[in-house]
Structure 1
């Protein structure tokens, strides 16, 4: 799959009592991303509170997302599980429901060795034919994979074909590019590094931002690809404070609060996560007004 551009992340809307998923609202959240001209939808990431869903809820969100997107753009399903068996279970399900790709993260309680991480990816790859995006996000998963190790998995695992790098270290992206002679696509998962990452050759940017600020991330991506450097820099700095804020405040809480401020109730994040407080909401409102 030749994937490039903006990969949009939907939040998972809950009912008022926080006990059920509101699929009608999920559909509206997905529609907002599609209207923002994203190039793919990535369900069940950290913005989607995947770690806080039961298996039944996880399956419900995955199935509904594929059905609702209906082939308009590729659908990527995020998988970050403690056990290889559950990751296999989810990867097989993603294939059965018609997803286009999985974004696979190793998730750890015990510190994992490279041999254990490789075995995890290789086992999942053997269980599902879907292309795999190797996802390095030590802040949430507790596992930090080096560029050389991730590239070795791309070389040795046939369906592992691209990398999402979210450490916030631009040197990791330079390493991926140079060690692979520019042949392995990599994606930026760190919002406030978007300008640097795309200029470093990233194939795309994985972000929940389009759910609140429309096609501004897509405009930034297009400006860089078209060599309009001054325009790209202006677009990035216009968004920078907002991008930094939604990460530092927690993606699910920030995006859900932002949607509510814009008249779309997506419920609160699931406890122990908390919604933004009044001061944070006022700050977010000011940034959204400035980006409108």
Structure 2
């Protein structure tokens, strides 16, 4: 597997729900195909934005099956997270059997712990499948923080770790990982409103959120910033930033699904305990989305 699999825009796919609350597989396939047609190089289902914690094991496997069938040779890279290490291991094996091309391994849900336990969990999952691995570090969401030295230690132990999704929010981490690992790892970010800054620090891949509603703009932003720096995307980034900031708040799932609804590419249905935003919070979000849509740039 080439590390090029990680270099470009990869949607953190939302999980669409039908009116009866079940996963809408027909829309899931159509939505993923639209992302790829716009220039995205793969998809990551079953992440935080995909409401993975509310999905059953069988639903997760079925989502991967649908996406592999719909996308053919385009990599499907599921997020691997669970409340127990055993379930995460079982999920890694199951999605590999369904045709996944890589794994995004998350810390264990709901248990913030020390290096001994978090590394044991990661090692167990990494040993469960033969697929390339994207290590996901997001201490803001998961309260578990892989330091640069720990990331590199795992990468040295597991050759299949090809990339790291560094989402601590500390841009200095990117320089530290490169200092310790050289060009061993592909650097990626999962923070929508820091993508241009991340590219300046060596990021070559973006696991994106608002790409679910704006794939063409996301790909253009990434490619222009990658090739020409901030000066090449200043106007596009300024237009996009209010939308991208909706990805970095606690109700980011509801807000991104609301954005999809506003551009006629999905609906805002979420699974409890999440509920659609309402009141002043909803009006503020709609103001951002409507302003962006009225001033949407010509690419």
TM-score under structure 2 normalisation? Answer: 0.91
Return the offset for 1:228: 5.0
Give the whole-Å Cα distance in 2 for the aligned partners of 1:26 and 1:266: 12
Give the whole-Å Cα distance in 1 for the aligned partners of 2:261 and 2:240: 20
Alignment check: 8 A CA contact 1:14 1:22 kept: yes
Alignment match, 1:164: 165
- State yes or no: 1:288 paired with 2:293: yes
- State yes or no: 1:53 paired with 2:45: no
Return the offset for 1:67: 1.2
Structure 1 residues 42-51 or 9-18, which shifts more? 9-18
Return the offset for 1:249: 6.0
Alignment check: 8 A CA contact 1:46 1:251 kept: no
Alignment match, 1:131: 132
Give the whole-Å Cα distance in 2 for the aligned partners of 1:26 and 1:181: 38
Alignment match, 2:26: 24
Would the alpha carbon gap of residues 259 and 166 (structure 1) be closer, same or farther in structure 2, given more than 3 Å must change? Answer: same
Moved over 4 A (4+): none
Q: Which runs of 5+ in 1 are unaligned?
A: none
Alignment match, 2:7: 4
Give the whole-Å Cα distance in 1 for the aligned partners of 2:179 and 2:294: 41
- State yes or no: 1:182 paired with 2:183: yes
Tell me: higher relative CO, structure 1 or 2? Use CA pairs within 8 A at least 6 residues apart.
Answer: 1
Please state which structure has a larger fraction of its residues in strand.
1
SS of residue paired to 1:220 = helix
Give the whole-Å Cα distance in 1 for the aligned partners of 2:136 and 2:259: 26
SS of residue paired to 2:140 = helix
- Matched residue count: 290
Alignment check: 8 A CA contact 1:213 1:288 kept: no
Alignment check: 8 A CA contact 1:12 1:266 kept: no
Alignment match, 2:100: 99
CA deviation map 1:18-66 (0-9, x unaligned): 2x11111112221231232111111111111111111121111111111
- State yes or no: 1:67 paired with 2:69: yes
Give the whole-Å Cα distance in 1 for the aligned partners of 2:180 and 2:288: 42
Give the whole-Å Cα distance in 1 for the aligned partners of 2:201 and 2:265: 36
Would the alpha carbon gap of residues 112 and 261 (structure 1) be closer, same or farther in structure 2, given more than 3 Å must change? Answer: same
Alignment check: 8 A CA contact 1:258 1:285 kept: no
SS of residue paired to 1:152 = helix
Return the offset for 1:195: 0.8
Alignment check: 8 A CA contact 2:44 2:76 kept: yes
Structure 1 residues 222-231 or 210-219, which shifts more? 222-231
Return the offset for 1:229: 4.1
The CA RMSD measured in Å over matched residues stands at 1.8
SS of residue paired to 1:179 = helix
